[in-house]
Amino acid sequence: MRLTVKKLSKAYGFFWALKDLNLDLPPGELVALLGPNGAGKTTLLKLIAGLIPPSLGKIELDRMPLSHANGSSRAQIGLLAPAAHLYEDLTVRENLQFFTSLYGWKHDAGNISSALASVDLSDRADEFVSTLSSGMKCRLSIAKWALLKPGLLLLDEPYGVLDGSGVDLLEEFLKAHCRKGNLVILASHHVSRVLKICSRAIILHQGRMTFNAPRQQPWPDFDQAFREFLPHGEA
């Protein structure tokens, strides 16, 4: 999926949380979305996910305005955020059955079991989601998106709740997902982690995009932008 953003702006009252953002991201990119607290990262992800409307500007998916997108185009966008969209009163397995049905798939018990095994949740399959820890819920969300395979996956600071093996499986999943031609945008304060896996980095600062370039090694332009806008380093 290709994502194009044109002069995108979002105001909350008189405050511009995002101003005049232009982006053109082809399929296969793994984008690190960086910036200090309040920079506008979550606002951008919510706009792209269609959860809030823009004040000005356009968002296009494969050249079609998001505002005109039908259910099947919107189903191509996944959002993995701390308040994960899971059903607490369904079991772990029932959640995956529900989402695969919702996305119009016949749920295949074998696929669901292997998705749960891949995130090490097989032994919790028949427990209610409300009984899981935050890290386990995050793992379940990874299994959900691994099954649903969205063309555009948005992640809002997924690292906080994951342990070491959870981080490894998330990163392996994201790299494999992009290798298949899907687009991933990953907002995080874990700068050194995301820089290792991204193909491009974007920095937002006070609602404006101050840096956008493909990853290089070494990367003096990024280092300069990072020092200027993220003077205190990682959160």
Answer whether 32's CB lies under 8 Å from 195's CB. yes
Residue-wise burial string across 141-170, b where 16 or more C-beta atoms lie within 10 A, e elsewhere: bbbbbbbbebbbbbbbbbbebbeeebbebb
The one segment of 34-42, 104-112, 131-139, 158-166 that binds ligand ATP by CB under 6 A:
34-42
Binding residues with ligand ATP: total (CB under 6 A) = 10
- Name which of 26 and 38 has its Cβ closer to ligand ATP: 38
User: Which DSSP symbol is given to 4?
Assistant: E
Residues 108-167 contacting ligand ATP, CB under 6 A: none
Residues 11-30 that bind ligand ATP (CB under 6 A): 12, 17
Scored b (16 or more CB within 10 A) or e, 173-190 reads: bbeebbeeebbbbbbbbb
Least separation in angstroms between residue 41's CB and ligand ATP is 4
In this structure, the number of other CB atoms found within 10 A of the CB of residue 172 comes to 13
Distance CA 74, CA 132 (A): 28
| Binders of ligand ATP in range 37-56 (CB under 6 A) | 37-43
- Least gap, CB of 16 to ligand ATP (angstroms): 9
Residue 31 interacts with ligand ATP (CB under 6 A): yes or no: no
Q: Is residue 188 at the binding interface for ligand ATP, with CB under 6 A as the rule? A: no
Which residues have a Cβ under 8 Å from the Cβ of 181 and sit 6 or more positions away? 27, 28
Residue 205 interacts with ligand ATP (CB under 6 A): yes or no: no
182 closest CA partner among 207, 134, 150: 150
Our CB check for ligand ATP shows the closer of 107 and 200 to be 200
Nearest distance, CB of residue 122 and ligand ATP, angstroms? 33
Where along the sequence are the contacts to ligand ATP (CB under 6 A)? 12, 17, 35, 37-43
